[in-house]
Amino acid sequence: MAAEQLRLTAEERADLVAYLDGELPADRASALAEKLTRSVSGRREIEALETSWNLLDLLPRPRAGSDFTDRTLTLVAEAPAADDRLVGAARRTMARLLALLAVAASIGLGGAVGYSVARWLIPDRTSRLARDLTIAERLDAYRAVGDLEFLRRLDETTLFKEASD
């Protein structure tokens, strides 16, 4: 098998930077090192990465301006103020919600009390009809009797007496 034919997989390529930094676990580092000894393309990729890292060291390092510290501390000091605004807005929203719930509860309670008082003070016209329903059902028979004297005479007769008397 030719050394050029051993190509690195995508996972091995992703591990190259960790390998160069010494952050790869020992078992994976030794497996990658062995593959790099047999792979010409893998060695080229390692060399390209090392060259890139070395060239980065040649770039000038930017220096923070004199006002960097002041700006950073100002931003840090303003961050809690933004949080305080958020907490304040949440408290105001909660207070409005509680006030709305209190108004809704008051309306509901007032309606229930008003209904109860109205039922107690205003008589129900149908309750008497319900109480006297048996009389209303037999009203035609009661009217046919005529007067009470007829019923008394009927009671005195033996026509409707039981045989056990």
CA distance 48 to 54: 10
Spatial separation of the C-alpha atoms in residues 145 and 154, rounded to whole Å: 11
14-18, 61-65, 82-86, 95-99, range with greatest mean pLDDT: 95-99
The residue with greater pLDDT, 92 or 146, is 92
Structure confidence at residue 5 (pLDDT): 54
Indicate the average pLDDT of the chain: 84
First-last CA distance in the chain: 131
Indicate if the pLDDT at residue 161 is higher than 90.
no
In this predicted model, what pLDDT tens digit does every residue of 18-45 receive, in sequence order? 888 888 899 988 988 888 888 888 888 8
Please tell me the pTM assigned to this model.
0.35
Chain-centre distance of CA 132, in angstroms? 56
Name which of 95, 4, 81, 2 is nearest 43 in CA terms: 4
- Over residues 1-25, mean pLDDT: 77
Q: Does residue 165 carry a pLDDT above 70?
A: no
Q: How many percent of the chain have pLDDT more than 70? A: 90
**Residue 45 near residue 13, CB atoms below 8 Å:** yes
Name the amino acid, one letter, at 52. Answer: S
Judge whether residue 2 has pLDDT over 80.
no
